[in-house]
Amino acid sequence: MMPGVDGIEALTRIRTFAPNVPALFLTAKDAVQDRISGLSAGGDDYVTKPFSMEELLLRLHRLVQRSGVAASDSAELVVGDLVMNVDTREVTRNGEDIALTSTQWELLRYLMENPRRVVSKSQILDNVWNYDFGGQANIVELYISYLRKKIDVGRTPMIHTVRGAGYVLKSAAS
């Protein structure tokens, strides 16, 4: 039991913003009704104590594989028709090559690693520039603008501003 909320309520809350995230219930209770409730609430698996650590890891591994949430062995990040090959550093949208500078590529990579998730300017600075940037305050806006000109121009926009919160990359079909 988590403080103030049970696992079923936690999963219900998580499913509102991440409907496809895999969920495994791990509990000390082995009551049939608890297992049924957990699986009915959207849980993908249910493990009770005592359990083998090897079994738990195998169940988690299979669960993540089946979900498609985890990165595959592929070196590609894909969001809608936008494809980034991490090994070759090539980017295409709808099959058309897009040339990016190193910083633009790193920014797009960070956005593509966090699709449909709002990322703040400070998160972008920490993850793209890798330090607390003490220079121009508008550097993130500037590079988002550069990316929009290359990724979104003449197409359905994928890079969106969430006022007061940050930026989000979404498939044009979303």
- Span 131-164, pLDDT tens digits: 655 666 689 999 999 999 999 988 999 999 999 9
Same structural domain for residues 41 and 97?
no
Query: Number of structural domains, the chain?
Result: 2
What angle (nearest 5°) sits at the alpha carbon of residue 99, between those of residues 97 and 100? 135
Residue 1: inside a domain, yes or no? no
pTM: 0.59
Domain boundary among 67, 96, 119: 67
Task: At 35, list the tokens.
Answer: 């297992």
Residue 84: inside a domain, yes or no? yes
Name, in order, each residue with C-beta under 8 angstroms of 87's C-beta and a sequence gap of 6 or more.
75
**Contact in structure between 75 and 64 (CB atoms under 8 Å):** no
Q: Which domain holds residue 109?
A: 76-169
Domain boundary among 67, 89, 109: 67
Residue 44: inside a domain, yes or no? yes
Banded model confidence at residue 111, pLDDT cuts 50, 70, 90: very high
Same structural domain for residues 114 and 164?
yes
